[in-house]
């Protein structure tokens, strides 16, 4: 269930919300573009933006098909997920009951429920920290301590700063040159991390 709390701090930057009227698809994989939009191009679980490696984003079944095969193609059961979180979550479902996602100590909260963001906080360096007992279980089960999550957060933050600098009206040619050089270095670094070869 989605809460209507306003102005909540979400460690993922923005809370996802599934549309109420998705298209009708014969295969859950065909929902990827709609899910990507509803999840703001971010993994529902860790909040990593897919700008870094969109091809590594997948569709997770919130209630695993091994627990309830009827949810395989149900939009409200689908989560836009990075490969790391999807593989880590796998078919873990401690309660073994599809109607009970958690027992308040172990299990899951749907990432579209704003209560999900209450389980974690984002540290200044981009690390994700659990702040509840249930959050700690999910943090461990999802591998949210993976340094990749911190790195992607830092890259996104740097990218946002550079985008802001691009829009600034800088009259000092030396300062403008420094910003341009920094921007070029960042873009090259991002391309290297994406695995895009530079043949120059």
The 10s digit of each residue's pLDDT in 133-153 is: 999 999 999 999 999 898 889
How many other CB atoms are there within 10 angstroms of residue 127's CB atom?
15
One DSSP character per residue, the chain reads ------S---TTSS-----SSPPP-SSGGGGHHHHHHHTTTB-TTT--BTTS-GGGEEEEESS-TTT-GGGTT-GGGEEEEEHHHHHHHTT--TT--TT--B-SSSB---TTSTTTGGGEEE-TTS-EEE-SHHHHHHHHHHTTT-HHHHHHHHHHHHHHHHHHHHHS----HHHHHHHHHHHHHHHHHHHHHHT-----
Asked if residue 4 has pLDDT above 80, the reply is: no
Chain-wide mean pLDDT for the chain?
Answer: 88
Asked if residue 34 has pLDDT above 80, the reply is: yes
Give the residue carrying structure tokens 């249930």: 134
Confidence band for 177, pLDDT divided at 50, 70 and 90: confident
Asked if residue 196 has pLDDT above 60, the reply is: no
Asked if residue 185 has pLDDT above 90, the reply is: no
* Lowest mean pLDDT segment, chosen from 12-26, 83-97, 112-126, 172-186: 172-186
Which string of b and e fits 41-64 if b means at least 16 CB within 10 Å?
ebbbbbbbbbebbeeebbbbbbbb
Average pLDDT over residues 12-36: 96
Asked if residue 198 has pLDDT above 80, the reply is: no
Q: Specify the pLDDT at position 54.
A: 61
Q: Specify the pLDDT at position 186.
A: 76
Output the 3-class SS for 135-178. HHHHHHHHCCCCHHHHHHHHHHHHHHHHHHHHHCCCCCHHHHHH
Share of the chain above pLDDT 90, in %: 64
């Amino acid at each position: 269930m989605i809460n209507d709390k306003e102005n909540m701090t979400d460690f993922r930057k923005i809370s996802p919300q599934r549309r109420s009227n998705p298209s009708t698809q014969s295969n859950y994989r065909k929902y990827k573009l709609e899910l990507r939009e509803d999840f703001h191009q971010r993994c529902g679980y860790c909040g990593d933006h897919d700008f870094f490696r969109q091809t590594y984003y997948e569709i997770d079944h919130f209630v695993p098909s091994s627990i309830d095969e009827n949810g395989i193609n149900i939009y409200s059961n689908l989560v836009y997920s990075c490969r790391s979180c999807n593989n880590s979550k796998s078919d873990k479902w401690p309660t073994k009951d599809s109607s009970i996602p958690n027992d308040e100590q172990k299990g899951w909260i749907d990432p579209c429920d704003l209560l999900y963001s209450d389980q974690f906080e984002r540290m200044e360096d981009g690390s994700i920290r659990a702040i509840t007992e249930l959050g700690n279980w999910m943090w461990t089960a999802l591998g949210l301590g993976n340094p990749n999550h911190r790195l992607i957060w830092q890259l996104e933050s740097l990218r946002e700063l550079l985008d802001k600098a691009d829009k600034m009206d800088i009259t000092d040619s030396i300062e403008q040159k420094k910003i341009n050089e920094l921007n070029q270095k960042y873009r090259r670094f991002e391309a290297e991390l994406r695995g895009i070869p530079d043949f120059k």
